Structure 1
Amino acid sequence: MKSEVLPSFEAFMAEPETAFKLYLEAVKAMESFAEMKSTFEHAAEAIKVAENLRTELATEKERNSRLQFRVLQLERLIYGRRSEKLSPAELNQLRLDIQAEEIASSLITDITDVNYKKVTTVTKPKAHPGRNLFPAHLRREEVVLQPFDYEEGDVYMGDEVTETLEYTAGEIWVKRTVRQKYVKKQTDGSCTVKIADLPVQTIDKCIAGASLLAYIVVSKYIDSLPLYRQIEMFKRIGVDFPSSTVSNWITKVCELLYPLYELLKKEVLKAEHLNVDETTMKVIDKAAKKGETHKGWYWVYLHHWGKLVFFDYKPTRAGEVPESMLKDYKGSIQADGYAVYEGISKRNGNVLVCCMAHVRRKFEELYKNNDPRAGVPLQLMNELFGLEEECRIWSLSFEQVEMVRYHCAIPILKKLEAWLRHQKEQPDNDAPMVKAINYALNRWDKLTIYVENGRYQLDNNSAERAIRIVAINRKNSLFSGSHEGAQRSAMLFSLTASCKLNGVNPMAWLTDVLERLPYLPKDDKYLELLLPNNWQPKPVVPSLTEILEN
């Protein structure tokens, strides 16, 4: 091959000019070949670099996506509800993953990027706020200590007082109502006996006074302490009540409170906006097989802005239950996706508002199962919930809330809807993703209508919070003894939970109401003053001794 390209010595000598030209052309051809080979080598190297960059880009995108989800996790940890926060296992895994990526990132950091000036921040230590003063109404027992070397003639100069809180097991005390009797002799020689009337008792001929009855009710329906545990506690302080007696007291209290319960129902159904939810309770049913319980249902109707809540018990979840309750209701209803509420709204002309929290939870489940696509809707929904929180913090009026939603929430909702519709068309969707997207889009108008009225809410969490007391009670009491007992519980849940909504001490409220009710006419104009949102405690009248001392 070499002899065909380069001229021989004889040819070179015979025709030196031609041979020299051929030689130069051959050299140029070899140089071109070398340049072409070098170009191909550079191109191959460039392709390899491009492939590496493409791989690194994909890796960085994946890492960025993971970090976005971890930010969402941390936001949920800080701001989320307890049930939506990270579990300890998730939190530990999050810390390990972030630490690993930070270490890997630090290993590839260019040395020129780490020249920085260290800044030391001096934080001024916070002053101790001091110990809170103990409430003045607490009973105080005083122990006076004299110096061990005290001598007669030492001049007293003051006291050093140290207070500590102590506890004595719950005290049941005896109220002795002493009615003094007098005899008046008449002119005809006869005698007339004078004695004060016995005050009306909360429960006729009952040994339990209003405060003890209130304590038992509040302990069971606010503190979720079953009756049998309370009876055991009473035994430890020397008082033994049969369980049937205590149960009968609860029944009698409910009979007394029933008119107030019915009035509460009327007031709740006057609400312009009503939050509705339901939950289960196991109930002993005589018709059920031995060892089995019936699944009954508590329905909650919350007047959020009026701070009143009404619980109703029914043995079934059939649609006829809320239909009967809401047949005459005019206003907006906020609920989950239960289809019966849509039917009620259509028949009565009510506005139905759905719950965005239910949508968020479905994407939370996707995220927990390592589906990175759920990050976008979660972030957008978090922004919506953040806006609502800001409105609450600033105590905005309904009109101001509407303005905030119009200018800030609607653009976010448009982005969320666009993402949902785009993602729905993607071929790689699995069943959970399709279910979550369809759940949102099928209710989209009812999910977004909240922006039109400041009274509407983004979620139905307020009803879920109100009904949580049933869930806690369910864990401790396990079941209700009968359907009638479950309905009595609904009555007491309603009244005590309404106290909590209004920041009213349920023990003080119920004690006062049980003392007043026997004297009041069963008329709404009198009873409405006893509802937790209207109730005012009786003024404390100082005793004659206190007046003289002051």
Structure 2
Amino acid sequence: MPAPENNSDLQSVLRYNTELVITVEQQQKTIEQLREELALYRRKLFGRSSERFVDDESQLRLFETGDEQGSVDELEDDQEDDSKTKRRRRKKKSEKIPSHLKRKVIEADVSPEKRMCSCCGEEMPIIGTDITERVDLIPAELFVWEIHRHKRACGKCKDTIAQVPAGEEPGGLTTPIPGSDYGFGVYTQIIVNKFADHLPLYRGEDIFARAGMLIPRNTQFGMLVNIAALVGGLLELMASRVVSGKVIGADDTTVRVQDPSLPGKMRTGRFWLYRGREDNPYNVFDFTESRGRDGPASFLKDFRGHVTVDAYGVHEGVYLGATDRIYAACCNSHARRKFNEAKPNDPVAAAHALSLYRGLYDIEDRCHDFSAADRLELRQKESVALMNELHDWLIQKSSDPRVLPKSSIGKAVRYALNQWDELSVFLGDGAIPIDNNQTESELRSLTIGRQNWLFVGSSRGGEVAAAMYSLVSSAARHKLDVWAYVDDCLRQLAGGSTDYESLLPDIWRKAHPEAIRPYREAEATSRRLTTQQRRTRRREARVA
């Protein structure tokens, strides 16, 4: 650009230069924001899913200041805890083969000529046997109940005929649906395939074909529709028990729905999960074709208490509506996750927030097995102070000009402040959890299945899936053999039983201890104990 010839030209150049500087600054901010988003997406796609509080120590030390020094020290505690835990892990011994498995014996003996003693020529008697056991598998095989209902008639009296009525054969029913060509085992297998093992119905076709007979997917769906009607009374009891509690965990996820009126087109539907607490330990799923209040308004119409939800559920009033009988308790894990995602943007600030949250979760760990009253007492004694400290820090950061509103740390601060009242609800009631993690975990089984079956074929298909997930997820929650539980439920209900109470999974579990999966209980206990031990060591290290 040529040198300005007068003052007017000079002013024009200065204005132009100022505009360029502003533009460059704005572009730089945009670039930084896009870099953060790209890094976040890369971590979600390719990084570890764990949100363990461990970070790049060298970067943190570079910026250590003042009160936030403790956050960095605690990062080192976690890494040390991890290394100690790994050193103590030992390879498990081979599991003992269960005695109840059927044995097929293979007799292995030497040939007749080798049985003769090389010294005296006499046949050597057996003096012992070494037994080796090896587990094998016979693929599932379909079989046919061929029911012969004999007719009897008097040879003299033409009008007298006797025959066992259909469905009253010795040994009881062989099918849950009158007139069906399929028995209980086939119905149960279809349910387990799709809703416990996450397989789409077309893969079920392959499974049954390998077993000896193709059962088309449209036939399988029709069978599921009938079963959903059969178990309706049991699911209604589960739902009524869930809404009778004072606290419900709620979450939702989308699903694609085929539109019969528009071939090749998809609508968006939504599955809703309502998780009862320990006093009503059932998972009830619902299906709607919107994220509006229609579904929650219907399910929660008789509910009074707190619903643990995410921020969307709070601000859009999806679960709460305009009533004064339902109150929100926001998930602190969501707020914590925002700071975990902000670590690349501002590692020191993120570490400070995460250290406070770790202190809160340490307290929750200690009162895990407490009564609601004792848990409330501990929270009032220790958690309130930490939450107050976190709130003061958030206020300070929100007014810090160095914290850009659109940066990931700025978004994390704003998110927490916008939900602060709901995030703090757990401090006033020991029955309210600090987060909604358990509900999100229960919903994960559906989201895993969705990755395989991709969509539902109709609104009716969504409703049937919600019913089946309610049955299967509630059984899995109690560490039950899902196949055994579902099969027995179908047999009891098809036989005319209306004793739904006995079929609730927590009640049924007590009557069928053989159907409990001990390895799942052991896994859950081991995970919890490992976490408790790690946190205990960290607390003791701080005191020392």
Q: Same fold (TM over 0.5)?
A: yes
After TM superposition, give the deviation of residue 518 of structure 1 in Å.
2.0
1:215 to 189, 197, 200: 189
- 1:460-505: CA deviations, max 9, x gaps? 1111111112211110001100011011000000110000111221
* 1:84 aligned residue: 50
Q: Does 1:401 align with 2:381?
A: no
Tell me which residue corresponds to 2:495: 519
Partner of 1:104: none
- C-alpha contact 1:450 1:458 (8 A) present in aligned 2: yes
Secondary structure of the corresponding residue to residue 218 of structure 2: helix
Deviations 1:317-365 (A, max 9, x none): 0123312322221122111112244872761333321110111111111
Structure with bigger gyration radius: 1
- Between the aligned partners of 2:224 and 2:401, the Cα distance in structure 1 is 60
Task: Show the counterpart of 2:268.
Answer: 295
Unaligned runs of 5+ in 1: 1-75, 101-123, 541-550
Which of 452, 466, 470 is the equivalent residue of 1:476?
A: 452
Residue 286, structure 1, aligned to residue 260, structure 2:
yes
Partners of 1:125 and 1:220 in 2: CA distance: 39
Paired residues of 1:345 and 1:351 also in contact (CA < 8 A): no
Per-residue CA deviation, residues 94-127 of structure 1 (Å, 9 max, x unaligned), is 59989x9xxxxxxxxxxxxxxxxxxxxxxx9999
Aligned pairs (5 A) from 1:89-488:
130-148=93-111, 149-151=114-116, 153-177=123-147, 193=162, 195=164, 197-198=168-169, 199-200=172-173, 201-287=175-261, 289-305=262-278, 306-337=280-311, 338=313, 339-341=315-317, 344=320, 347-392=323-368, 395-431=369-405, 432=407, 433-488=409-464
For 1:388, give the aligned amino acid: E
Q: What is the number of residues matched between the two proteins?
A: 428
- Rounded Cα–Cα distance in structure 1 between residues aligned with 2:384 and 2:99: 52
Q: Which residue in the other structure is 1:502 paired with? A: 478
Deviates further, 460-469 or 192-201: 192-201
Cα deviation, residue 372, structure 1? 3.0
Structure 2 residue matching 1:362: 3-state secondary structure: helix
Q: Distance in 2 between matches of 1:189 and 1:484?
A: 50
TM-score of the two chains, using structure 2 as the length reference: 0.71
The match for 2:505 is 532
User: Percent of aligned pairs with the same residue?
Assistant: 26
Alpha carbons 1:184, 1:194 under 8 Å: kept? no
Residue 110 of structure 2 aligns to which amino acid in structure 1?
P
CA shift in 2, pair 1:160/1:182, >3 Å? farther
Q: Which runs of 5+ in 2 are unaligned?
A: 1-42, 63-86, 117-121, 514-544
| Alpha-carbon separation, structure 2, partners of 1:184 and 1:173 | 35
CA distance in structure 2 between the aligned counterparts of 1:193 and 1:484, rounded to whole angstroms: 42
Partner SS state of residue 281, structure 1: strand
User: What is the Cα deviation at residue 189 of structure 1?
Assistant: 11
Does the 8 Å contact 1:345/1:352 carry over to 2? no
SS of the aligned residue for 1:206 comes to: coil
How far residue 291 of structure 1 moved from its aligned partner, in angstroms, is 2.4
DSSP-derived class of the 1:269 partner: helix
Contact 1:512 / 1:537 at 8 angstroms: preserved in 2? no
CA contact (8 A) 2:296 2:319 kept: no
- Per the alignment, residue 28 of structure 1 pairs with none
State how far apart, in whole Å, the 1-side matches of 2:457 and 2:318 are.
34
2: CA distance, partners of 1:360 / 1:132:
40
The alpha-carbon distance between structure 1 residues 239 and 301, as it changes in their structure 2 partners (threshold 3 A), is same
Relative to structure 1, the CA distance from residue 176 to residue 134 in structure 2 (aligned partners, 3 Å threshold; closer, same or farther) is: farther
The answer on whether the counterparts of 1:336 and 1:358 sit within 8 Å (CA) in structure 2 is: yes
| Residue type of the alignment partner of 2:108 | L
Letter in 1 for 2:472: T
Amino acid at match of 2:115: Y
Residue type at the aligned position of 2:243 = L
Give the CA deviation at 1:513. 1.1
What whole-Å deviation, never above 9, does each CA across 1:230-257 have from its counterpart, x for those lacking one?
1112222331222222221111111211
Cα distance in 1 between the residues matched to 2:487 and 2:139: 20
Cα-to-partner distance string for 1:175-204 (whole Å, 9 max, x where unaligned): 444556777889x89986565733443112
Quick check: 1:260–1:531 contact (8 Å CA) kept in 2?
A: yes
Give the superposition deviation at 1:398: 1.8
The alpha carbon displacement at 1:208 in A equals 1.5
RMSD of aligned alpha carbons? 3.4
Partner SS for 1:253: helix
Residue 370 of structure 1 and its aligned partner are, at CA, apart by 4.9
Assess if the C-alpha contact under 8 Å between 2:196 and 2:472 holds in 1: yes
> Residue 213 of structure 1 contacts residue 249 of structure 1 at CA under 8 Å; is this kept in 2?
yes
The alpha-carbon distance between structure 1 residues 96 and 141, as it changes in their structure 2 partners (threshold 3 A), is farther
Task: Mark the CA change 1:169 to 1:303 in structure 2 (over 3 Å): closer, same or farther.
Answer: same
CA distance in 1, matches of 2:221, 2:321: 40
Equivalent residues of 2:51, 2:340 under 8 A apart: no
